[in-house]
């Protein structure tokens, strides 16, 4: 953050970046160049029950462009992450030794970590040669109930197909109110071994990708796109 100021009107903003968790908000704010107080004339608006299923075209086009570019050249996500972690060390990668995956039949032994879990049930995997995050594109399953057992998430994924990437709660119902794109960092395996150790790093990766994606959205097209509030009021 390099400055604090107040704009004259909410209409001065063309993009809304929504975070569902305080940790995610810290990660998002760390990616911004300026910090603003609420604009003059800002008021909270009520939502309606309209359903909007697809993100705006400008966002979908940006998504296609960034995917194409990442096939040819490196993502800027690692660079943005490093910049942020220098200012917020607690959002750093938590180390491969703390990335443990157990068989679906292995339930977590009570405790804040997995030191008491049977190592014979741990799935051994080849260690990655970098801590740079992989970027995946596909279905994000949103719901009001947390998925705490591997067998449960395997069943849900089987019904949805291989395109299913992760499970989350905070964005559940968000697209029922206005067109948007859900971007998530993955912090656990949606099983009984889940804990909060990777939550900050996952939030940082999602924020870094969002920052890179926004650069692919032409200002002119963003200004011509219907605002979320207009969509809510036009139902």
pLDDT for 81-134, tens place per residue?
A: 999 999 999 999 999 999 998 988 888 888 888 888 888 989 999 999 999 999
In a domain, 158, yes or no: yes
CB neighbourhood size of 209 (10 A): 22
Strand blocks (E) in 14-162: 35-36, 139-142
In a domain, 64, yes or no: yes
Q: What is the DSSP letter of 63?
A: H
Q: Which residues contact 192 (CB under 8 A, 6 or more apart)?
A: 107, 108, 148, 149, 150
In a domain, 9, yes or no: no
In a domain, 202, yes or no: yes
One DSSP character per residue, 155-200 reads HHHHHH-TTEEEEESTTTTGGGTS---------S-SSTT--STTHH
**Per-residue pLDDT tens digits of the chain, which is 235 residues long:** 445 677 878 788 878 888 766 678 778 888 888 877 778 776 655 554 444 457 888 888 899 899 989 988 899 999 999 999 999 999 999 999 999 989 888 888 888 888 888 889 899 999 999 999 999 988 888 777 777 777 787 787 777 776 777 888 777 677 667 778 889 999 988 888 888 899 999 999 999 999 999 999 988 888 777 776 665 565 5
CB 198 within 8 A of CB 19: no
In a domain, 8, yes or no: no
Domain span at residue 105? 21-31+50-124+131-232
CB neighbourhood size of 51 (10 A): 11
pTM to 2 decimals?
0.73
For residue 74, the SS3 value is coil
In a domain, 11, yes or no: no
Q: How far apart are CA 103 and CA 95, in angstroms?
A: 21
In a domain, 43, yes or no: no
Instruction: Give the rounded distance of the alpha carbon of 86 from its chain centre.
Output: 21
CA 184 vs CA 62, 107, 227: distances in Å: 17, 25, 23
Q: Domain count for the chain, please give it.
A: 1
Q: How far apart are CA 172 and CA 145, in angstroms?
A: 10
Label residue 34 exposed, middle or buried (CB < 10 Å: 0-12, 13-18, 19+): exposed
Q: How far apart are CA 37 and CA 114, in angstroms?
A: 42
* CA-only gyration radius of the chain, Å: 20
């Amino acid at each position: 953050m390099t400055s604090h100021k107040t704009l004259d009107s909410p209409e001065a903003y063309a993009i809304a970046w929504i975070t569902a968790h305080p940790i995610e908000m810290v990660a998002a704010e760390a990616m911004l160049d300026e910090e603003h107080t609420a604009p003059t004339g800002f008021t909270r608006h009520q939502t309606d029950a309209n359903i909007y299923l697809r993100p705006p075209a400008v966002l979908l086009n940006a998504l296609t462009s960034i995917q194409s570019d990442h096939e040819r050249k490196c993502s800027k996500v690692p660079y943005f992450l490093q910049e942020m972690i220098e200012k917020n060390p607690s959002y750093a990668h938590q180390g491969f030794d703390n990335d443990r995956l157990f068989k679906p039949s292995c339930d977590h032994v009570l405790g804040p970590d997995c030191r008491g879990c049977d190592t014979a049930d741990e799935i051994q995997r080849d260690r990655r040669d970098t801590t740079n995050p992989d970027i995946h594109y596909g279905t994000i399953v949103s719901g009001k109930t947390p998925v705490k057992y591997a067998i449960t998430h395997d069943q849900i994924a089987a019904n949805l197909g291989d395109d299913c990437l992760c499970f989350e709660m905070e964005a559940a119902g968000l697209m029922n109110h206005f067109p948007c794109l859900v971007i998530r960092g993955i912090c656990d395996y949606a099983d009984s071994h889940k804990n909060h150790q990777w939550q900050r790093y996952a939030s940082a990766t999602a924020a870094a990708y969002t920052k890179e994606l926004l650069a692919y959205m032409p200002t002119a097209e963003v200004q011509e796109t219907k605002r979320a509030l207009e969509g809510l009021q036009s139902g």
